[in-house]
Structure 1
Amino acid sequence: MRVISYVPRPEGKEIPGYIEIVSWEELLQTSDYISLHVPGGEKNQGIISKKEFAMMKKSASLIQVSRGGVVDEEALAEAIRNSQIRGAAVDVFSEEPPQKDNPLLKLEQVILTPHIGSNTVECMDRIALDVAEDVHLVLSGENPKHPIKR
């Protein structure tokens, strides 16, 4: 299996050897599955919209687990209805909970989850370990690895 990724600024990032870095356009044009893991914010709002869906393979599926608003949900629904892409899995929405008239709710080719993508046994175990380590650090007079920022 070929694993490709688009990384806007790869300098200084540890990228496993099995991942091939490609351009945004190549990622969209050649991927069978596109999994989004980007931060929210204005910079990434609507980075996947009509233009990007038009570049994708008809057999492509989109996995949206980043932040709401990163994907234009109307454009996603339209791309699926028009067979521009095969389907999608969506864990985050522009508006949560999604409104009853959200077009993604009516499509059989879309798997929907209620913003629980990180709710796995492995993730919860890791969170518990991180919290325990930080408590130990603080009680030992050191700074925590994951401080709460206000």
Structure 2
Amino acid sequence: MSYQHILIAVDLTDECHPVVQRALDLAASNGAKADLVHIIEPMAMAFGGDVPMDLSLLQQQQFDQAKERLVSFAERYEQLGSGQRHLVYGQPRQEIHQLATELGCDLIVVGSHGRHGLALLLGSTANDVLHGAPCDVLAVRLKKPS
């Protein structure tokens, strides 16, 4: 199958670089366009949604830091122009699916730690993205940091 538009979902850690490289290699071999996305989860989600204080300033700082990290991360890849980088706020699965649909992507590439046991039962972002995806999903195994 030949892909035309690939969405690469990353958490901006160094272990994601092989995921991006794999996706860009696929894009090059298919003559496809590639976009990079990083999702920022609202702080209220991390605390179960029951936070008795205003987190807007902290969330803005989180967004600004993520924007800087995204630019720095993406600069390693000349194939990715600034219009192909997306920073989105929300629940990862929903936002990745929505962006893939909006952009008309036919492949989503995510990193996977390949967890087993309890972690597998609890799920991961890669597993979450797979279910209900509007297109094919490729989970690239992440190497454990040394």
TM-score by length of 2: 0.27
Select the structure that is richer in helix: 2
Q: Decide which structure has the larger Cα Rg and report it.
A: 1
Asked which structure has the greater RCO (Cα within 8 Å, sep 6+), the reply is 2
Select the structure that is richer in strand: 2
TM-score by length of 1: 0.26
